[in-house]
Amino acid sequence: MSVALRPERPPNPLVGLLDRLGPVLLTIAAGIVLGLQFIMPDKRMIAVIGAILMFGLAWRLDMVAALGVLAVALPFPRGTVFGSTNLAFIALLAVLWLLRVSRGQCARPRRSPLDALVLALFVAYVISFYNVTTAVDLGYALPLFVLLAAAVLMFFVIVNNLQDERGFRRFLDFQVVSIPLVCLLAVWELNHPGQYFIPGWIGFQVSSVGEINLHNIRVGSSFQDYELLSEYCALNALLVLFLLLRAETMLHRLAYGALLSLVLFVLFATVTRGSVVALAAGVVYLIWIVRRRLSFVTLVTVGVAMVVGFLSMNYYVANFTRSGNLMTRLAGSTKFVGVMPADRAGIWMQAWGRIFEHPFIGHGPYYSAISGLRTYLWPHNLYLFVANNVGFIGLGIFLSLLWTLLRISRPRTDDLRHGDFIHSYMIIAHVQMVVFLIDETKIEFMRNGNYQFQVWLMFALITAAYQITHAPPAPALVPAGGLPGIRR
């Protein structure tokens, strides 16, 4: 008998009741579980609840919003038996993206100028495992390699899902939420050195140079590294400044102004010279780019405001907080041996000499502290670090990648308030790359399992912005009575 001829069955009242009661019962059950965890916390149960929450958010949200949640969560990873929560969340988003692409719900992957270089760098790290000879080094190298793989995967997912200005701006909104969270955690650390913010998850080791818990605290926030936090603040100060200059309402100007002050405060609280010098060079370069938009009076006003702001912030941090004095470090302890800082000269020469033990494919993803009978320190230089890991061949690939990012981020306008948001954003992105390249001469982001995601996030945003500005035009519709490509 045809289905259409079958008599219609009356709706089952039990099914309707379950539909109405289901969300209520689920909410009650979740409340009971959360209440029990609040009274008697179990780290395994908390991890499971967090994973379920993340999966639910990723499943219900569109890809841009899901990536925004990732941007907020990235600085605060939680260790698990299989790695950090960042690895799990990135893998989850990659799977969801591929499923949606296969169902036609997302655009198919598209090529970018960085694809070949990123994949070549990944292959160079794979080949470098040839020189990992001990089980101890392999135990360290594998997790670091997995982190690199996750960062590369995140790069491709972001680049292929931020495909228009609206999505790009939405993602930056999430980034603006993440920045104050990292900075406020640093402020808490400054006032509670050596304590746990969340037991078993986020805690801080005492990093003071003078009296423990009293003076000269150098904050590292969730990155646990004051030099990398200072670079994070320097890069994001430029982003917040850009958003402040483009703000259209007084409320937004006040909000971005307060956020910029917070970021600069944390920057000074790290008491790190390199990032401040790099940021100063970046600001001078930014002024050079937009010089045609500035009058002499505006230029003098901006210069005086920068000097007064620098001195005021340093005075406040040095005298009213537990942090140190940045001016003292700049003026009193910065010495050079030739063109090299005195506190870097020895380890730079040591790292340079070590490269020639395996000059072509490097020592492997892990920078071991011991090689043969010698003990090595961190090189405190990204380029020496990469050359030690993957040799001069890998370093060449990496430098080509950085050069490509610098090239594609070259701005096509000098107006920070240009009508096209992406074109004006490219000015800041280009300056961010300059600041990053300068600052990484005294630190290496790849040694940190948390912060390196922030760098690859910056790479992805630059590439996505380039892709948006160079997107091919929409295909022309077939005119009535004719075929495309045939002129009449």
Q: Are 426 and 410 in contact (CB under 8 A)?
A: yes
Q: Per-residue confidence at 478, pLDDT binned at 50, 70, 90?
A: very low
Angle at 179 between CA 208 and CA 452, to 5 degrees: 70
77, 434 contact by CB (below 8 A): no
Whether 398 has a pLDDT exceeding 90, the answer reads: yes
Q: What is the pLDDT of residue 4?
A: 47
CA angle, 4 as apex, 3 and 10 as ends, to 5°?
85
Q: What is the mean pLDDT of the chain?
A: 81
Q: Name the token pair of 121.
A: 């760098």
What are the strands, taking DSSP E only, across 314-423? 336-337, 340-341, 370-371, 374-375
pLDDT tens digits, one per residue of 133-190: 888 888 888 988 999 999 999 999 999 999 899 999 999 999 999 999 999 999 998 8
Q: What is the pLDDT of residue 488?
A: 38
Residue 456's pLDDT is 96
- Residue 287 three-state SS: helix
Over residues 436-444, the mean pLDDT reads 93
Tell which residue, 329, 351, 355, 341, has the closest CA to residue 442.
341
What residues contact residue 424 under an 8 Å CB cut-off, 6+ apart? 242, 246, 411, 413, 415, 416, 417, 418
Dihedral (Cα; 178, 241, 228, 165), 10-degree rounding:
60
Helical (H) or strand (E) element with 202: strand 202-203
Compute the CA torsion angle 41, 47, 50, 54 (nearest 10 deg). 180
Please report, as a single letter, which amino acid is at residue 262: L
SS3 content of the chain, % helix, strand, coil (to 5): 65, 5, 30
Query: Strand 374-375 to strand 370-371: parallel, antiparallel, or no bridges (unpaired)?
Result: antiparallel
Asked if residue 54 lies in contact with residue 91, where contact means CB atoms within 8 angstroms, the answer is: no
Cα–Cα distance measured from residue 147 to residue 77, given in angstroms and rounded to the nearest whole number: 12
For 298-309, the pLDDT digits (tens) are 888 888 888 888
Per-residue pLDDT reduced to its tens digit, 401-417? 999 999 999 998 888 88
Do 306 and 283 form a contact (C-beta atoms < 8 A)?
yes
Q: Of the ranges 207-211, 239-243, 378-382, which one carries the lowest mean pLDDT score? A: 207-211
**End-to-end distance of the chain based on CA atoms, in angstroms?**
57
Q: What residue ranges do the domains of the chain occupy?
A: 33-108
Each residue's pLDDT tens digit, 23-47 = 566 566 656 665 665 566 555 566 5
Residue 327 has pLDDT above 70, yes or no: yes
pLDDT at 95: 87
Residue 397 has pLDDT above 90, yes or no: yes
Q: Phi then psi for 163, rounded to 5 degrees?
A: -115, 5
